[in-house]
Amino acid sequence: MSESFQNLPALITQGFTPPLRLADFRIAAFDMDSTLINIECIDEIAAAAGKKAEVAAITEAAMRGEITDFKDSLRRRLALLKGVPRSALEQVLTERLQFNPGARELCAALKGAGLKLLLVSGGFTFFTRFVAAELGMDYVRSNELAFDATGALTGGLVMQPWGEICDGEEKRRMLLACCAEIGADASTQAIAVGDGANDLPMMGAAALSVAYCAKPKVREQAMVAINSGGLDSLLTVLR
């Protein structure tokens, strides 16, 4: 969360009058990196290869919407990670990854109110499995890193039944698919929370879009922008 928020109000709402009824919602979709957790996992993996600055610059441009082809940006970053050992990823998971303030509290409150939780990430299953288990996610969609026989990254991804890369359109499609499965209408019963440009498609499909410490393009389009404090401050909008 490198974006400066010093001159912004802690919480901004636009396009509606809070509070909204929590009971009216059925599902909440969350991005992972820099939203539920404090890091961009791919940038931290890159640190092990001595290429953090190069990879982080591409990540930042993609999240700001300056690189519009997320799939291409991800492939470019992955190519730079070829040869990084699995142990480096394990170190990121155990030593660098932390939940953002209020993430546990918000997810617990939403689950307690009967909402289904969806984790949709342009990041990797190596990390989403842990995050999903910790927060009680009901659905998960993310990318599967490919390893060679020695346990090092190949610089590519594993093809999954739904496809290879979870980009913005796949996040939106997954939200709509989960809504269909539970008999919900995304446009009236879904919440979507993210920070980057690749979150905008799912946020646009949801009844309530929430930007958390987000890039300017995302803050401008979200119905709620949380610029400081915890994710659980969203609960001041939902009663």
Catalytic sites, residue numbers: 31, 33
The tokens of 110 are what?
A: 């939403």
Joined together, the tokens standing for residue 179 give 């809504």
Place of tokens 């890091």: 39
Integer Cα distance of 202 and 78 in angstroms: 24
Residue 64 CB-density burial (10 A; 0-12 exposed, 13-18 middle, 19+ buried) = middle
Single out the residue of 4, 67, 62 nearest to residue 33, CA to CA. Answer: 62
Side-chain-side CA neighbours of 110 within 13 Å: the count stands at 31
Report helix, strand or coil for 157: strand
Distance CA 128, CA 140 (A): 8
